[in-house]
Amino acid sequence: MKNHLHRKWLALSVLLMLFGFSGSGPRGETLFQVSTMAALEQGDFRGRLSLQALRRLGDFGIGTFDGLDGEMVELDGRIYQVAVDGIAHPATDSMKTPFAMVSRFKNEKPVLLEKPMSLAELERALDEMLKAKDGIYAIKVEGEFRKARVRSVPKQDSPFPVLAVAVKSQRIFELTDQSGTAVGYWFPAFMSGVNAPGYHFHFLSRDAKSGGHLLDCETKTVKVTINRIEQFHLLLMEPPAK
């Protein structure tokens, strides 16, 4: 069964590496993704790409670690592992990821949002900023958060359970009065299975000491910057070093 899935992923990678989004506006960025959401949902938590290789591909992104060991946040080229206790630690190059997405983020002119918003309200505001819903977007939300509800998941034992079972052991944290950044992406519905449709954010405090998968929030004053992704590459194994 796993060999069959690997063959399917290989075919999918060839198609998607040739596929680019050609919406209006300036040329967008390239997103590199390790494995697929469908594989992660089925319990493929085996690390397949080193963080050293991942860092070469992008300076901004989210994901998880070998065995689904916590939440990954990459910001300004630094990768952090938010452990099950909610504490963020600098990740090492030798660590591996079973699923991640990274891009090179362009800090273009941000949009200032001063009205307090929940995550659902923030996403509705973001909907108004996305010029088209036929592509992928990298999104940075940076500033002051009155509240950030985040989670992390402990490392799983092999044979790995499916993701829905693994997430039942998650731990949830309520962060208050935090300066920090929500790092995330928006994917269109037609890419379901490759990734999760809609928004997906991970949060990192400004002091890089806490964070996790963002479940909800209450913003205070934040700046939003959006990069349109034009090229999508799906990676299945460690690329050769240049």
Does 241 fall in a domain?
Answer: no
Q: What is the dihedral of CA 167, 169, 170, 172, to 10 degrees?
A: 140
What range does the domain containing 211 cover? 2-235
Does 54 fall in a domain?
Answer: yes
CATH number where 108 lies: 3.30.1330.80
**Which residue type is seen at 91?**
A
Does 240 fall in a domain?
Answer: no
Per-residue pLDDT of the chain (242 residues; tens, 9 = 90+): 444 444 344 434 433 443 333 333 335 689 999 999 999 999 999 999 999 999 999 999 999 999 999 999 999 999 999 999 999 999 999 999 999 999 999 998 999 999 999 999 999 999 999 978 889 999 999 999 999 999 999 999 999 999 999 999 999 999 999 999 999 999 999 999 999 999 999 999 999 999 999 999 999 999 999 999 999 999 987 665 55
What is each CA distance from 223 to 109, 144, 153, 179, 193, in whole angstroms? 9, 9, 28, 12, 30
Number of domains the chain contains: 1
Does 242 fall in a domain?
Answer: no
Does 123 fall in a domain?
Answer: yes
Reading the block at residue 109, the tokens are 């002119």
Does 210 fall in a domain?
Answer: yes
pTM of structure? 0.88
